[in-house]
């Protein structure tokens, strides 16, 4: 696959990771290219690097492993539980130069402290944060939040931590965390719309901004069917199934081919993909020939062995794609980390796309979309994620006007980002200062 060229600021952050041992938090607004940088790092680093993420789908998207499977950590609160480590796991963890964690905002403080303790124990460097491993965190806390557990877990966090968030993990009392913020937005070019999105991100929406967004959103969506971004799964399923049933012609079902242990429900696409001619679909993978990208919307024109999809007036034949689940291991022969495939999932990289949840729209880009917040937005950052998927104000449609209660920003995130100086990536150098979390 063609690798995108890094911007100057992305290159500076890459050099920072490669040429220092600093712990880094790489953040930035939606559309600033965090995923592009991470993908480049995975292919071009000269270090012994391991990439992980909190969920199965997130790990698949970055060619990594889930945190729990990599470190063999127990599910739920880890606290002071004994950490059982096999000789193989200890060898693996002793080989790592740099640990990369994507979607860090979904990692709670207890889990990050568990990672810290696991590395100290395996590497027998108990006085060093993360056992001497460089840790690089990717994510935007204004978009995704850690999921609170049951009341007992919440009580534990309230007693032990300042908040659920990764930045309140106890390890940061010993380790400096340098925060580098990517600033150049690649998704939107309209400076006015960028400014309004930033106001939504920080919860600083004025009446004037709300009026502009609501006036734009009140227009009737185009009849060719912009995708709907909704807060609830049941809303998305209803919209997609109703629209599919409305189409004439036979229903075709493509069943995924699954080999190995794919980890239960963490499939990257539908196990049974139902399609008809005329179905609106969204691509789930970038195309090696750059005919579409992850998030491109098209219409099915033919289903026969393969699927033909029309995108911007041009019809493309779409072959099944294979997602690979990896596991890191240590090679005694080479004294290096190896990454082996332990499971494969083959399916057409398509999903019905009259509607998608706001959560699943994460990382996608749409020229136009209908935002359906239902009765209310219920999670911090939800409205920001939805609006920031869209490339311009002209592509924004709302099922109802935005209300002040829809703009939810987590107070702990505001506290962290205001207390800690985020360094612009455009001026980041290996000699730059650091911010301690």
Domain residues of the chain, as ranges? Answer: 8-186+411-427, 191-325+336-406
Tell me the pLDDT band of 404, cut-offs 50, 70 and 90.
very high
Tokens of residue 209, six digits: 């901004």
| pLDDT value for 423 | 56
Provide the pLDDT confidence category of residue 75 given band limits of 50, 70 and 90.
Answer: confident
Question: What pLDDT does 337 receive?
Answer: 78
Instruction: Give strand pairing partners of 351.
Output: 282
User: Quick one: pLDDT band at residue 435, thresholds 50, 70, 90?
Assistant: very low
- Number of other residues whose CB lies within 10 A of the CB of residue 220: 6
How many residues belong to the chain?
A: 437
pLDDT of 307 > 50? The answer is yes
Query: Which of 157, 146, 141, 200 is CA-nearest to residue 384?
Result: 200
Q: Answer yes or no: are the C-beta atoms of 188 and 201 closer than 8 Å.
A: no
Confidence (pLDDT) at 148? 80
CATH number of 8-186+411-427: 3.40.50.300
User: Does the pLDDT of residue 295 top 90, yes or no?
Assistant: no
Q: How many helices (H) and strands (E) does the chain have?
A: 12, 21
Taking a C-beta distance cutoff of 8 angstroms, is the pair 77, 149 a contact? yes
Q: What is the DSSP secondary structure assignment for residue 237, as one 8-state letter?
A: H
Q: Which residue has the higher pLDDT, 29 or 270?
A: 270
Global pTM?
0.84
SS3 (DSSP) at 219: coil
Which tens digit of pLDDT belongs to each residue from 33-73? 898 999 999 999 999 999 999 988 788 888 889 999 999 99
Give the tokens for residue 86. Answer: 């096999």
Split at pLDDT 50, 70, 90, the class of 432 is low
**Pairing label, strands 336-347, 257-260:** antiparallel
pLDDT reported for residue 437: 45
Residue 140 CB neighbour total at 10 angstroms: 25
Binning pLDDT at 50, 70 and 90, where does residue 433 land? very low
Which tokens in the block code for residue 261? 């242990």
For residue 348, give every residue at least 6 positions away whose Cβ sits within 8 Å of its Cβ, in sequence order, or none: 254, 269, 273, 306, 307, 318, 319, 320, 321
Q: What is the DSSP string of 196-214?
A: HHHHHHTT---HHHHHHHH
Cα distances from 326 to residues 41, 249, 330, 345, 402, in angstroms, run: 17, 40, 13, 12, 42
* pLDDT (mean) for 17-31: 93
Q: Are 368 and 346 in contact (CB under 8 A)?
A: no
Give residue 430's pLDDT. Answer: 64
Mean pLDDT value of segment 336-360: 90
The pLDDT value recorded for residue 186 is 72
Task: Tell whether the model's pLDDT for residue 380 goes beyond 50.
Answer: yes
Q: Report d(CA 323, CA 284) in Å as an integer.
A: 11
Angle between the N-to-C axes of helices 191-201 and 207-217, in degrees from 0 to 180, rounded to the nearest 10: 120
State the distance between the two ends of the chain, measured CA to CA, in whole angstroms: 37
pLDDT tens sequence across 76-109: 889 888 899 999 999 999 999 999 999 999 999 9
The residues facing 183 across adjacent strands are none
**Residue of 337 and 260 predicted with greater confidence:** 260
Evaluate whether 148 touches 154 at the Cβ level (below 8 Å).
yes
* pLDDT number for residue 217: 95
Q: Is 234 exposed, middle or buried (0-12, 13-18, 19+ CB in 10 A)?
A: exposed
Residue predicted with more confidence, 204 or 58? 204
């Amino acid at each position: 696959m063609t690798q995108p060229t890094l911007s100057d600021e992305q290159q500076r952050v890459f050099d920072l990771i490669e040429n220092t041992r600093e712990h880094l938090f790489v953040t930035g607004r939606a559309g600033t290219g965090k995923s592009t940088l991470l993908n480049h790092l995975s292919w071009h680093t000269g270090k012994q690097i391991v990439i992980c993420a909190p969920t199965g789908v997130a790990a698949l998207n970055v060619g990594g492993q889930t945190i729990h499977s990599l470190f063999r950590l127990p599910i739920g609160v880890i606290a002071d539980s004994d950490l059982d480590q096999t000789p193989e796991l200890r060898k693996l963890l002793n080989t790592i130069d740099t640990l990369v964690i994507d979607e860090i905002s979904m990692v709670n403080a207890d889990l990050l402290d568990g990672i810290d303790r696991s590395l100290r124990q395996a590497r027998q460097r108990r006085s060093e944060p993360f056992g001497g491993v460089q840790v690089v965190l990717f994510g935007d806390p204004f978009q995704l939040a850690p999921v609170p557990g049951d009341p007992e877990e919440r009580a534990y966090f309230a007693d032990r931590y300042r908040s659920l968030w990764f930045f309140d993990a106890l390890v940061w009392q010993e380790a400096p965390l340098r925060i580098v913020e990517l600033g150049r937005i690649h998704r939107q070019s309209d400076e006015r719309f960028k400014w309004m999105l930033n106001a939504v991100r920080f919860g600083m929406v004025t009446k004037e901004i709300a009026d502009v967004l609501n006036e734009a959103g009140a227009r009737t969506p185009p009849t060719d069917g912009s995708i709907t971004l909704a807060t609830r799964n049941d809303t998305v399923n209803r919209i997609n199934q109703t629209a599919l049933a409305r189409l004439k012609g036979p229903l075709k079902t493509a069943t995924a081919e699954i080999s190995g242990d794919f980890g239960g429900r963490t499939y990257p696409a539908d196990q049974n993909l139902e399609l008809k001619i005329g179905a609106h679909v969204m691509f789930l993978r970038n195309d090696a020939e750059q005919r579409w990208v992850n998030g491109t919307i098209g219409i099915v024109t033919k289903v026969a062995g393969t699927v033909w999809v029309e995108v911007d007036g041009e019809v493309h034949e779409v072959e099944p794609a294979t997602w690979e689940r990896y596991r890191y291991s240590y090679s005694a022969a080479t004294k290096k980390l190896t990454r082996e495939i332990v499971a494969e999932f083959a399916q057409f990289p398509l999903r019905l796309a009259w509607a998608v949840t706001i959560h699943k729209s994460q990382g996608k880009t749409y020229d136009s979309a209908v935002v359906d917040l239902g009765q209310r937005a219920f999670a911090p950052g939800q409205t920001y994620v939805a609006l920031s998927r869209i490339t311009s104000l002209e592509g924004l449609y709302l099922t109802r006007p935005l209300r002040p209660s829809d703009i939810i920003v987590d107070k702990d995130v505001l506290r962290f980002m205001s207390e800690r100086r985020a360094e612009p990536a455009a001026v980041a150098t290996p000699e730059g200062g650091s911010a301690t979390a």
